[in-house]
């Protein structure tokens, strides 16, 4: 009985410690729903190895805790004959503001269909990334027609990733290149049930926070 009680307490303390070290923002629903402060930055960013970048000369970074999952996914894709690279990772609040401003100048109000305002971009979390493959001339458009995209649809969940903006979502245009890291447990649940991240209630999503980087 004592051993059971001690074990239960130890498990509870361990869970609380993990939760205290994991920002709740990492699984919050953004995309015109939840605002992320301009002061938020990932606790530690890791530079993406140039070998895994589409543009080797353009530095990109992601949350350091996520990097092993990204690397393993890209290695697995390459092992299966798919050419998959990171083309965009972490964006600061100010960088997103600048990007949205430039898109607005170019596309007017149409920019709201594909570009998030600052504070509402998953990229600021450091756990979302845009991926690209060869044969598209460096463009994101057309990614959904590639075998690499189909590979990701079948395998990305194994590494903790889910597609943020599938076809007919309520927030932005279909973005087959934009994937968010939500942890293997939640990504597997979404894959197996056919549900989308933004379909879930926030209180149900939050249950997966403790295992985000397991």
Q: Which residues are CB-neighbours of 172 under 8 A, at least 6 positions away?
A: 31, 113, 114, 116, 165
Query: Which residues are catalytic, by number?
Result: 175
CA distance 24 to 209: 7
Contact between 208 and 185 under an 8 Å Cβ cutoff? The reply is yes
Residue 68: count other Cβ atoms within 10 Å of its Cβ: 12
Beta partners for 47?
A: 61
CA distance 151 to 74: 11
Dihedral of CA 162/90/15/214: which sign?
positive
Crossing angle of helices 67-79/147-155, nearest 10°?
130
Beta partners for 88?
A: 130
């Amino acid at each position: 009985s004592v051993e059971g009680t001690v074990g239960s307490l130890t498990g509870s303390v361990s869970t609380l410690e993990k939760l205290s070290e994991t920002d709740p923002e990492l699984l919050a629903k953004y995309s015109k729903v939840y605002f992320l402060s301009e002061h938020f930055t990932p606790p530690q960013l890791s530079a993406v190895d140039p070998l895994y970048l589409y543009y080797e000369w353009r530095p990109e970074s992601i949350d350091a805790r996520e990097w092993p999952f990204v690397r393993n996914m890209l290695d697995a894709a390459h092992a299966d004959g798919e050419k998959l690279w990171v083309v965009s990772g972490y964006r600061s609040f100010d960088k997103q503001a600048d990007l949205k401003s430039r898109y607005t100048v170019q596309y007017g109000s149409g920019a709201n269909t594909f570009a998030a305002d600052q504070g509402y971009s998953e990229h600021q979390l450091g756990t979302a990334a845009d991926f690209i493959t060869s044969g598209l001339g460096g463009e994101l458009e057309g990614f959904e027609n590639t075998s690499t995209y189909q590979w990701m649809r079948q395998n990305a969940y194994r590494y903790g990733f889910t597609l943020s903006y599938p076809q007919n979502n309520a927030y932005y245009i279909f973005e087959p290149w934009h994937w968010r890291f939500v942890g293997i447990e939640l990504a597997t649940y979404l894959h197996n049930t056919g549900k989308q991240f933004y379909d879930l209630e926030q209180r149900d999503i939050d249950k997966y926070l403790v295992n985000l980087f397991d």
